Structure 1
Amino acid sequence: MGIFSGKTGLVLGVANDRSIAWAMSEALVAEGAELGFSHLPGERSERRVRQLAEPHNAKLIMPLDVQKDEEIDAFFDKAKEIYGKIDFVIHSIAYAPTKELQNPYYMISREGWHMAMDISAYSLLATTRAALPLMPDGGSIVTLTYFGGEKVMPGYNVMGVCKAALEHTVRYLAWDLGEKNVRVNALSAGPMRTLSSAGISDFDEMREHQAQKSCLKRNVDPKELGSTGIYLLSDMSNGVTGETIHVDCGYNIVGL
């Protein structure tokens, strides 16, 4: 019996086996959680997620375009039909057009800025609102962020601005939902090789720099992210909300 036995959660945004959300999912399943998954529209994305989720007997594997309110409603309606209620949500959704990441920040187009902010920040608000009716007894919501939302990380550009908005959205949601016993937190991971990071210029240099400058002189391991996810999503963190928890081997505290 794991600490999540009898608990159900939804994981939004797994892309492949390198996704931070997948590292968290594996840890949760090992502790007895039942999980439902969303994936990007398209056969390729569905195939990747099904290969990961079906061995764990996931009852919900469904496409979700968070720019479409009707798809958000459909996903959570299906979750209610299958599970009745849920205990937690993992939000692992972010996107900016590659060309917008490659150009200096001041060159971003209005269209690109709105798309990045809609998908990467507003989606937390929209999916939280849809999840609330499924959490009558309270619950926990965790989103994923990065230190580029706090300090300038060259090459991260508009995603840093999106993460700043995401992190402050966490704080306002935590305030609004506290009386409903719903906690909202962010996990700020060190730079991980994921599908999303492939679009960031100089990403390998970012990882090398962090390994050299962090307190632990290394980069974070995916299993460490899974362990922190268990903490934030379980009763162990019942008094924690509105926080951004750094799992980056101490890099964020270093000033040189």
Structure 2
Amino acid sequence: MNPSEVAAILSELGAAPAKSRGQNFLVDDRVADRQIEYAELSPQDTVLEVGPGLGMLTGRLADKVEKVVAIETDAKLAAYLADHLPSNVELIEGDALAVEFPRFDRFVSNLPYSISSPIMFKLLEHSFDKGVVMLQKEFADRLVARPDTDDYSRLTVNVYYRAECRLLEKVPRSRFWPVPKVDSAIVELVPRAPPFHVIDEKLFFRLTEALFQNRRKKIGTVLRMRSIITAEQKVRLPYMDLRVEALSPEQIGELANSIVELRMG
């Protein structure tokens, strides 16, 4: 599907790419074919796709697996898909952030830029075998970032705790229509058991969020400011004079466990 074909279909639908939703349509069949290869699909798989657009990936997925569940929030695109997709595609018209995800084996999507972060957090609450996701390159860089880099973030730590993440390839912006201002990247996600133990996951995620919201402040200052610890507890905890960007995910987990143990006495 080339840019002229996409533009013609949208015109016929009386639709236009929504900048507010980050709608940029993949127009390179070779990239879509590689995404299918990366997904390593099995005939019995159920695949979840968020933001199918005009079905560039959806049809390819349907040819390979038992069932595809595609969630599309745009009513005009959903109507088009309903008329053009095979019978093994279940189309859900709705907001993927509000819709309850069904059971699925693999997640294959070109995610709209505007919902990438919340969808990733929602995705990792579910059990599945593998994800192959097209994301904004800058967002993808955050997923695989190392400590002591600008891209290292709450997202990095939370995803690392839930899954192995690997950047598969960079996709130039010219492969989309309309042409976005940034490049994209295809990322592989493979869920796994956490690589380190935390006593209280709720505290671990709360701690991670608080520290990265104040990443330029020393850890001890943030924990006191957020009333996570007392002044007396501060002197008994590690890493208080460091900033969060200097800590590995494992060290953040260690800190969370130390806080729990202090509270338990």
Which bin holds the TM-score, normalised by the shorter protein? 0.3 to 0.5
- Relative to the length of structure 1, the TM-score reads 0.43
TM-score after normalising by structure 2? 0.42
Q: Which has the higher contact order (CA 8 A, sep 6+)?
A: 1
